[in-house]
Amino acid sequence: MTDSTNTIDWFRHTAPYINSHRGTTVVVGLRRGATANPNFINVVHDLALMHSLGVRLVVIHEQNTFNSEPLTPVVVNTAVVEALEERTFIERMFSMGLPNSPLHNARLRVISGNFITARPVGVINGVDRSGRGLVRHVDVAGITHSLDGSAISLISPLGHSPAGEVFTLDALDVMGAVSRSLGADKLIVMSDFDGIEGSDGDMQRQLTVDVARQILESSDQAEKEALMLACDACDSGVPRSHLISYALDGGLLKELYTHDGIGTLISPDEYEQIKVAETHDLAGILELIRPLQQAGVLAERPNEEVERSLGKFTVITKDSRVIACAALLDNPADSIAEIASVATHTDYRDSGHGERLVAALIDAARQAELERVYVRTTQTGHWFQELGFTMSSSDALPESEKQKAKIDRNSNILVRAL
């Protein structure tokens, strides 16, 4: 394959992810050091691309410098000034539009402001923490208004009080409160590590919240903070949290627009889900079955036909991406239905997905009080036999299908009684 064919192929494969992320609200937390990293300009470019692909972005930055000195008014003022300088730096990066850069003609609008109301931390263990605040309220309407106006919302770790004071805030507190209050679809925490490694040194691509909490104790401080934030976000209703590195070129794009991602995904439950297909799964189903149809492995079905019968498809999704599908094509007049378009993405084969789908469709057929199901296949007769199907002929098909059987791909017909 030539380079351009590879690029076209890659671009086509991103379509399901582009569709599934469009219109979602994603909170991106930039941890300490992100804006000072040489890769930060690439992070900005990737955020700009995500924005142009319809992702509603809220970016929250943590200050690069952390001042543990007692909070004299001078120290507080310095911290506020530094936070504002970083905010200005980020706005400046988003405003660049040099020719030959991904931001050329992007005309990005970034809105920052007094979105966070804070209250003082007060005196803790006898130490007056004046100048440090806690999030009291997130201006959801204000942030939503910015996002509705196609702007990127940029939030600094600063909060204002009704008395007119400004407080420096723990950015992790802000990231959690904003994701929770907005009902974000995702929280992405960008830190100085690639993701969470298992005891064997391999990157853990997915963790459930329960497992993530178990490994908290053995993690270093930065990992622990990010893991706790991610777990708390999931507990408060954010469906997915991702931990990725801000130093890795293309990290955001790899995490969101490729099959396996690049960092660690944390979700409340098992990330794979079996369910009846929904509208947003259509692109993923077509992506899965189209090459198999072109190769003659699956029967041709025009896209419109798949779209019309979408509710008859069952899919297995992984982080909202379709990795396997199958359809139960029933007709109210018949007591036999076809199991069709059974396909598992090549990366996920031999893990029981196909068998799980066929079992789910058989259950559905039983519930619909059908008597038998059949399949037409050119290459997987043996596989279906192992699932309890037996070789049959076109005689077993409903009348409406017998004629079609004569002109199809010389498929084998296998039937299973229910």
Smallest separation, CB 101 to ligand COA (Å): 41
Q: Does 229 bind ligand COA (CB under 6 A)?
A: no
Smallest separation, CB 19 to ligand COA (Å): 21
Whole-angstrom Cα distance, residue 212 to residue 202? 15
Short-list 387, 412, 382, 379, CA closest to 397: 412
- Token output for 108: 């990005």
- Encoded one letter per residue, x for contact with ligand COA by CB under 6 A and - for no contact, window 368-407 reads -------x-x-xx-xx------------------------
Short-list 229, 248, 242, 310, CA closest to 271: 242
Pick the binder of ligand COA from 49, 111, 222, 297 (CB under 6 A): 297
301-330 binders of ligand COA (CB under 6 A) = 324
Residues 44, 193, 101, CA angle at the centre, nearest 5°?
20
Whole-angstrom Cα distance, residue 391 to residue 176? 57
- Token output for 349: 């084969």
Q: Does 354 bind ligand COA (CB under 6 A)?
A: yes
Find where tokens 């001042």 sit.
67
Q: Where are the beta strands (DSSP E) in 76-223?
A: 110-112, 116-120, 123-124, 127-128, 132-138, 152-155, 158-160, 166-169, 186-191, 206-208
Quick one: angle between helices 171-182 and 140-148, nearest 10?
A: 70
- Encoded one letter per residue, x for contact with ligand COA by CB under 6 A and - for no contact, window 256-295 reads ------------------------------------x---
Pick the binder of ligand COA from 178, 248, 262, 343 (CB under 6 A): 343
Smallest separation, CB 261 to ligand COA (Å): 20
Q: Which helix (H) or strand (E) holds 273?
A: strand 272-276
Smallest separation, CB 10 to ligand COA (Å): 21
Pick the binder of ligand COA from 165, 260, 355, 408 (CB under 6 A): 355
Q: Does 361 bind ligand COA (CB under 6 A)?
A: no
Cβ nearer to ligand COA, comparing 185 with 401: 401
Smallest separation, CB 343 to ligand COA (Å): 4
Q: 26, 183 in Cβ contact below 8 A?
A: no
Smallest separation, CB 344 to ligand COA (Å): 3
Q: Does 349 bind ligand COA (CB under 6 A)?
A: yes
Q: Using CB atoms within 10 A of its CB, is residue 317 exposed (0-12), middle (13-18) or buried (19+)? A: buried
- Kindly report the backbone phi and psi dihedral angles of residue 314, in degrees, each rounded to the nearest multiple of 5, phi listed first: -110, 140
Smallest separation, CB 415 to ligand COA (Å): 14
Positions in the binding site for ligand COA (CB under 6 A): 292, 297-298, 324, 340, 342-344, 349-355, 375, 377, 379-380, 382-383
